[in-house]
Structure 1
């Protein structure tokens, strides 16, 4: 049996871990929303400021999950932690910035680097020295069974934990639901379609992002 041992939601105006809000957006702040979280949580990782928004969101939510489950990272070998991410828009947010920069001059190579959605997993892997399996899928909507089926495959093939995320950022819409799956853990929810869908919906996802076939 596999379990959800920690989870977080990051949206336009709030950030929550295990169902508890830890940050609310200050619309009067001169800092972008993700930088507000970075400062408030006192993270120190200079590379954060060079990342695109997908990678910044991945950094923030993965680090917050590690804080919520501090024993997690030390329990496993560097190739036993897999990652499974998905969204609807791929890297379109950064792609549009690249096209705009190209039309108005020479785009920065540092911008071009982020024109693949799976770079977010690369950033997390580099930071943590995780060398397990990784997959980034583009799906029409959040699909609980997609995550469950692939996690079961990964966990039966040598992985001991899977960091998962629905990682959608498009303009002002931010729907990031990141969750940790382990074979065992102290604070846990059994990994089932119903449980995973309910926890995802807890973050007030736009209903169009939830596959109703799996929620109801």
Structure 2
């Protein structure tokens, strides 16, 4: 809630974002920010994490608007920006006592040396780079495939034109036809069409 309040108070000058959406995403940004370090962070420091998460969400959202990035649900500011912040917060602000307890719970042998804050920051930085590379590459590949398969529909979306479900009905029909042919070839029964045949036999 600290995160939500911080976002709402910043929202007085905002014309392009609904206040309710800001409050909900503010709560989510605080939750995402503290997730990585929830087991090792002093509860009093969670307030700091949540307030910083609110600012990161707010200005991350503004940055995307400025650059015209399409993110209808504001998922990137909440889950990417605040998630990366949470990783570094967990590495820098963990409580040594809680950290040691967690290591014992998971049976991790620390006799070879403690994993210090610097080591954790480096590990979390590497993790963030891998996540960005993986999600970026897979998203690019997916949208490239969609652009090849449905250029008309995607161009209409890019132009701000309303796209009706009927525009995609030929795709749905093709998928249903493919499924029906596969079922006929294997002798499988669709439980929706014939629930009695799909019922378990005793």
Do the two structures share a fold, i.e. TM-score over 0.5? no
Give 1 or 2: higher strand fraction: 1
Q: Which structure's residues are more often helix, by fraction?
A: 2
Q: Which has the higher contact order (CA 8 A, sep 6+)?
A: 1
TM-score of the aligned structures, taking structure 1 as reference length: 0.22
| TM-score in terms of structure 2 length | 0.23
Which structure would you say has the larger Rg?
2
